[in-house]
Each structure stands twice: as structure tokens, then as C-alpha cells.
Structure 1
Amino acid sequence: MNMSNIPDLKCGIISVSRDCFIISLSENRRQAIISAYEKKYGNLYEVKKTVENEKDMLAAVKEAKDAGCNALVVFLGNFGPETPETLIAREFDGPVMYVAAAEETGKNLINGRGDAYCGMLNCSYNLGLRHLKAFIPEYPVGTAEELADMIAEFQPVARTLLGLKDLKIITFGPRPQDFFACNAPIQPLYDLGVEIEENSELDLLVAYRAHENDPRIKDVVADMTAELGTEGGNPYPDLLPRMAQYELTLMDWMEEHKGARKYVAFANKCWPAFPTEFRFEPCYVNSRLVSRGIPVACEVDIYGA
């Protein structure tokens, strides 16, 4: 299955430490989180540079970027330095999560005391002052195992944010008559960073007819036939060449029109003129694209896409 239309996520973790605390406290707790995470969920990139000041912050962010990280967890292993830790969210070009260590024991309050809960409150306030967006769990303080679970919950959030940032929704409309629910205002989508390309149903028909003798049609038909089977699953084999022609039309349009974006979703008109002009309904083709990670909404429903 081709899932190239979904972001590949590489998440890193940066620990921060207020310089009046022992730096090893934050570093050891970071390593415990990585160990707990990798036992349950897989890889989590460890940024070796621990942040105590703004220069450390720049070095740590560079280390994460150089390693190919596109999402970050900022971990307060103790109270944490407010300004450098919040500036990570500004300097790093990707989703950022903030979490903090719970106090592990009451028996070591000289070298083991971290004040991370208090530091997390200050961090949240500072992020707000700077109008910086970050992901903060409902209760962002915990043990290594608890924080590992929180970081796992952050992964689909980060993937969604990365997808929106590089997403183009391609539409073929206009919406069907008396279907006002599909009148999608695009300003909120622009506010999310999504790009929109609106086309007419006639544009789609012209592109479809241009693919009429495409030599790739026979291979797509063969793939469809193998997928549907021969016993009851393929009652209209004569429709497959037209459906294959339509599938190639959409796939080519995606590659030719994604422009500067990495990911594409479709919102395509499917009635009332579609079945008379294309001579089939597109639901099966839409489902094949969805199976490859390419969302397709019918009835020009941009928000459904």
C-alpha cells in the first residue's frame, strides 16, 4: 500500500534544566523516558544537548533539525529555564510538545528535587505571552512511563499538524443543488495553513477525456479485477476501463497540481451530472485512493475531506 501522502514522523526529545539545578537530574530523567518509550512504542530521537540558556537552545534545535526531526518533545527535567525552553517552539519549524517530570521520591530533596510542576506552570504562561502554539497534555507532569504514554498520544497530533501545513485540497465543483452544507468557507482552512485549489466539473471532464487512450488503463483494470475477484465482487466488468481512466485522471491531476505542497486531499462532485457524463459513479475509485492515504470526499465536501 502506497502511503506517501501521509507525513513520516521523526520525533525528538530535548531536555531543559534551570542552571541552579544539577543538570544530570534532567539528563537522567530524559534517558529514563526514552527507555520507557522505546520499550512500548519505538524510536524517540535523543537530542544530547541539554538546554540551560539561549545558546544551548539554538544548538539543541540545530541538532534536532540536523537529525531529521520534524516534531519535538521539550522535557522539563527540573524547574527549567523559562525563556530558552519556550523559544524552542519559535525556533523549531514543526509541532512541539511540553511535558515535565514528577518528583520521584521524598528521600532525595537536595540533589533530586526538580520543581518541574511549578516550572511547567511558568512555561505555559510564557508560551502564552509569546503567542506560541504548543501541545500540552491535560496533566503534563508524570513519571517516565506516564510521560512515554503522553508522548505516544502526541504522535498523531504532530502528524496531523505536519499534514495540514503541507496539504492542498483539490476540489471539482460546484456543490450539488440544494446541498448548502457543502458550502465550505475557505478562510478557516487558510488559517490552518491549508492550500485550496478549486476547479470546475468541466475541467475534470476535459482531463478525463484526455486520458481516453492512456496505455496505463489496462494495468489498472487488471489490478481492479484482481482486487474485486471474479465471484460476485465484479458484477460490472465493462465499467472498469472507464473507472481506471478516471483513477489515472485524478492521480495525474494530483501530481501535476500539488505544486509546493506535499500532500493532497480531494473533494469531488459526484452527482447529478457525473453519472450521465462519465457514465459511472466514482465511489469505487474514491475508495481505492483512500486506501493509499489520499482522502476523497464526494459532493465537493471540503470539510469532509
Structure 2
Amino acid sequence: MEYNCRLGVIGTRRDIFSKQDALKYNGLILEKLNEMGIDFVDIQDINEEGLLFDDRDVGSIVQKIKRENVDALFFPHCNFGTEDLVAKVARAMHKPVLIWGPKDEAPLENGARLRDSQCGLFATGKILRRFQVPFSYMNMCELDDPYFEWRLQNFMKASQVVKELDGLTILQISTRPAGFWTVMVNEGELLEKFNVRIHPVSLPEVKQEMEIQKREREDEIENVIETIQETMEIDVAKEAVYETAALKCAMKALMERYGCKAAAIQCWNALQDNVGLFPCVANSLLNEEGLPVVCETDIHGAITSVMVQAANSLESLPFFADWTVPHPTNPNGELLQHCGPWPASLMKEKPRFGSPFAFNHSHPGSLHGELVGGEMSIVRFDGDNGEYSLLMGHAKGIEGPRNQGTYVWIEVENLKKLEAKIVEGPYIHHCVGVHGDVLPVLHEAIKYIPGLKSDYYDTNDEAMDALLRGE
């Protein structure tokens, strides 16, 4: 999995302010973006100035930006800018929008001002609201201010989240476990509200695909077996390793065939009757490759994984977990655990390929190991009664008693508050964790996802807004 968010850069100016200063800053901005390694498309070929200031250029700019498959728009106000033209372009594109201007200098000795970029941003914000265009604002700063890079990168990652969610297709492998009413979803609402689609396949289809992989992709199966041998301690028969590798290849083939970025599998108990395995290790291998696979046919969990992974740009892989039991001595400690779908690279030591304790070790396929600690983000997309929200907060790894499956003990700021939020809903016992802080990215992304609201267990919207302002 690779992420690439392409930015459309559309500098703007207004005639009554310095044209030369606007040209100078436009050049400096494009140079800075090149230094940052941003994949961007500019409008240098649209007119002699490479700036948005003439209504006659709007159509050409929109055509170019659409042709170049741009994912987000950046409107630097190189002087005051032309607010109505910015709004026209932005509304035509339906992409995340960032507005910013370089910090204005002091007036000249004669009292004249060259740019008035701040004043222009005030005007643009008003007109974007009139046009009902959601937008982000990066506070004025110098180009060499570290805030500029951090804030722009946050916007790019947020735009990547929006891009990944729009048109997302999730491979649903079999039905939900009959007793798990908690993972019921409204497939129609997901399509109507978020343009998220589900492609269901049956267990016989998976089994058939495994046989195809065995006949036609033996080299790939052998490569997966080598990966298992290199990254895991094996405590099952060779046949189980081979079948697990075939299952992994089959699931990946089905995801690719149906254009799915994630999968949700009924990991018990029909799978054991049909295939003779638990899929945890196969899930782990796919998660390691940046192809999120979640347990118990949790479609909302798969959506969460896709959002978190995009927000983190694969700087660290996400892991799908159960909230399980409180820490025996730490009042704000909690156990995150599951039967073994977490990437092996996140473990403190080589995890053990065995069988799940929760099912009396009935079939092979589980993974056992402790996650590396550190600072984390914990996230859950969920909804009921037509309302959807994103539960988010921070955690850090702590010491705790040994467990089976893949697990980590974490500490949160206020477990009682978190516990009440999960019980009172719309959330369930599943979440997605990732090392690092993805909350600023997700906070910004929600601006561009109608029908989804933020819900924090250890901060709030005001604090997150302040963070994005660089306060």
C-alpha cells in the first residue's frame, strides 16, 4: 500500500496591491513545496503570472486541476487575493481546501502596504462560507516557520483520509457471527452518507480461491511461508503453516479482484468448519502489508482501520483490538487484546504462531505476543440510529500481566470517562490503535466528511483547533 495525495496549488492576487510581491511569494512558495517533496500541480501555464486573479482563467484552472487528478487544493494569498475566484474554483472541485498567506511585512516608510494578505484571507473565508465550501485555515506565518511544514503536512494527511474513505470498498468475508449483534451495520447508510461500499463473498468462495492459489501461485505461497518462518515462532504443524499462507494469498487476491482496500472476516466459527483454521496469522500478514483486515466481520472496524492508516501515512501500522479488562493495579489502565491479527513487526519479540486460548486451542491460526509500548492514538468509527461519530483519544503503553493472543496494556487519562463513552455508545468493544498522534489529522479530515462528528475522550474540539492554529 502506498499513499499519494496530489495538491493543486493556486496562488491568488488582487490588482490594487503589489503584483511584484505577489509574483515573488508565489515563486518562493512553489520552491518551498518542491523542497518538502510535495506532489503538486500549479497554474504556471494558465497565464503569464501563474496566479489566479482573472475571472476568465477560472474555467481553464478547473479543467487542468481535474485533468491532473488533484486530491486537495491550496490557495496561497500572495497578496490580498481574489476571494470570489477562489470560491468559484473551490466549489467546482469538491476537494479539501486550505487557505493561507505569508505573514504581512510592516508598512513601507511612506505608509503604503504591499500585500494585505491577512485582510484578503478574512474576505476569502467569508465567501467560502457563502459558497458552502468546507475549508481549512493555516494561520499566517513565514515560509521557514516549522509550523508551515507541520500544518501543511497535516492537511495533506487529512486529505488522504478523505480520499481513502470516498468510494472505499470493503471485502466482507461471510456473514457476521450470529451472536455478534454489536457488529451489525446499515449498508445502505454507509453508501448514502459516506460512499462506502461492501463486497460480500462466502466462505466457499474463499476456499475455492485457496485452491486456485495452490495450483497457480505456489511461488507466492512459498514466499509467505518464508515470511512466517522469519518473523514468527512456529508452534503448529507444517500443514497449518501452508494452509495459512494459502488463506492469506486467497484473501489478498479477492481484495485485489474486487478493488477492496480493507476486509472484515467472520473469523469464527464457520471458518474453522470450512477451512480448519483461525485466520489471525493470515490477517496479521495482510495488515503488515498495509491491507487492513479486521475480525468478526466488523465493517465499522475496517473503516476505522483505513482512516487511521491513511492518517498516519504508514509511519506506523494500525492494530485492531478489543477493549477487554481493566488493569489490576492502575486505575486508568486497560488491556487491548485480540487473538492475533496484529502485524508481527509491532511486537516486542517474535510472536508465536499457535492456537487461540479462547477457543480451547481447537484449531491453529492464532498469534501470541506483546505489542511494543509508547505513545498511541486509539480510534473508533461507529454509529447507530443514523448518527455517526469518531471516538478518539491518546494512550501510552504500560507494564501489566502476561496475556495470550496479541496484546498491550495501556493507560489513558480517565478510564471511567472512556468506559462510559463506549457503553453509552454508539461504540462497541472494538477499536483501532496506532503508535503516534493521528488526532490532529482526523480532526481536520472530519471537516470534509459530512455526517461524521468528532468525539474525544481526553481532549475536545477547541483544544484541537488551537493545536492546528499553532498555539
Give the TM-score range, shorter chain.
0.7 to 0.9
Query: Against the structure 1 CA distance between its residues 196 and 53, is the aligned structure 2 distance closer, same or farther, given a 3 Å change threshold?
Result: farther
Once residues 22 and 65 of structure 2 are traced to their aligned partners in structure 1, the CA distance between those partners, rounded to angstroms, is 18
Query: Against the structure 1 CA distance between its residues 18 and 231, is the aligned structure 2 distance closer, same or farther, given a 3 Å change threshold?
Result: closer
Once residues 117 and 284 of structure 1 are traced to their aligned partners in structure 2, the CA distance between those partners, rounded to angstroms, is 54
Deviations, residues 207-241 of structure 1 (Å, cap 9, x unaligned): 41353253245323321232123796233221123
Partner of 1:218: 218
Number of aligned residue pairs: 291
1:1-305 equivalence runs, <5 A = 3=1, 6-48=2-44, 49-67=50-68, 69-92=70-93, 94-107=95-108, 110=112, 112-114=114-116, 116-134=117-135, 136-137=136-137, 139-145=138-144, 146-186=147-187, 187-188=189-190, 190-199=192-201, 203-212=202-211, 214-229=214-229, 233-236=233-236, 237-258=238-259, 263-305=260-302
Once residues 208 and 21 of structure 2 are traced to their aligned partners in structure 1, the CA distance between those partners, rounded to angstroms, is 66
Contact residue 100 and residue 141 of structure 1 kept, 8 A: yes
Q: Tell me: higher relative CO, structure 1 or 2? Use CA pairs within 8 A at least 6 residues apart.
A: 1
Deviates more, 1:189-198 or 1:282-291: 189-198
Query: Against the structure 1 CA distance between its residues 169 and 230, is the aligned structure 2 distance closer, same or farther, given a 3 Å change threshold?
Result: closer
- SS of match in other structure, 2:11: strand
- SS of match in other structure, 1:141: coil
Deviations, residues 8-67 of structure 1 (Å, cap 9, x unaligned): 222231101123223333332222223334434555443322111322222233344455
Please report the RMSD computed on the Cα atoms of aligned residues, expressed in angstroms.
Answer: 2.7
Query: Against the structure 1 CA distance between its residues 209 and 188, is the aligned structure 2 distance closer, same or farther, given a 3 Å change threshold?
Result: closer
Deviations, residues 235-259 of structure 1 (Å, cap 9, x unaligned): 322112322332232233223323x
1:13 is matched by which residue type in structure 2?
V
- SS of match in other structure, 1:89: helix
1:34 is matched by which residue type in structure 2?
L
Query: Against the structure 1 CA distance between its residues 62 and 156, is the aligned structure 2 distance closer, same or farther, given a 3 Å change threshold?
Result: same
Contact residue 15 and residue 27 of structure 1 kept, 8 A: no
Once residues 170 and 67 of structure 1 are traced to their aligned partners in structure 2, the CA distance between those partners, rounded to angstroms, is 29
Deviations, residues 151-188 of structure 1 (Å, cap 9, x unaligned): 22211112111212232112124322443331223414
Q: Percent of counterpart pairs with the same letter? A: 21
Query: Against the structure 1 CA distance between its residues 196 and 132, is the aligned structure 2 distance closer, same or farther, given a 3 Å change threshold?
Result: farther
More strand by share: 2
Once residues 158 and 218 of structure 2 are traced to their aligned partners in structure 1, the CA distance between those partners, rounded to angstroms, is 40
Once residues 100 and 230 of structure 1 are traced to their aligned partners in structure 2, the CA distance between those partners, rounded to angstroms, is 51
Contact residue 7 and residue 162 of structure 1 kept, 8 A: no
More helix by share: 1
1:240 is matched by which residue type in structure 2?
V
- SS of match in other structure, 2:132: coil
- SS of match in other structure, 2:177: coil
Partner of 2:429: none
- SS of match in other structure, 1:77: coil
Contact residue 182 and residue 300 of structure 1 kept, 8 A: yes
- SS of match in other structure, 1:227: helix
- SS of match in other structure, 1:51: coil
Contact residue 11 and residue 77 of structure 2 kept, 8 A: yes
Relative to the length of structure 1, the TM-score reads 0.83
Contact residue 33 and residue 148 of structure 1 kept, 8 A: no
Relative to the length of structure 2, the TM-score reads 0.56
Contact residue 70 and residue 93 of structure 1 kept, 8 A: no
Query: Against the structure 1 CA distance between its residues 76 and 113, is the aligned structure 2 distance closer, same or farther, given a 3 Å change threshold?
Result: closer
Structure 1: tracts of 5 or more residues without a match: none
Query: Against the structure 1 CA distance between its residues 111 and 42, is the aligned structure 2 distance closer, same or farther, given a 3 Å change threshold?
Result: same
Contact residue 107 and residue 113 of structure 2 kept, 8 A: no
Question: How far did 1:293 drift?
Answer: 2.4
Deviates more, 1:206-215 or 1:158-167: 206-215
2:128 is matched by which residue type in structure 1?
L
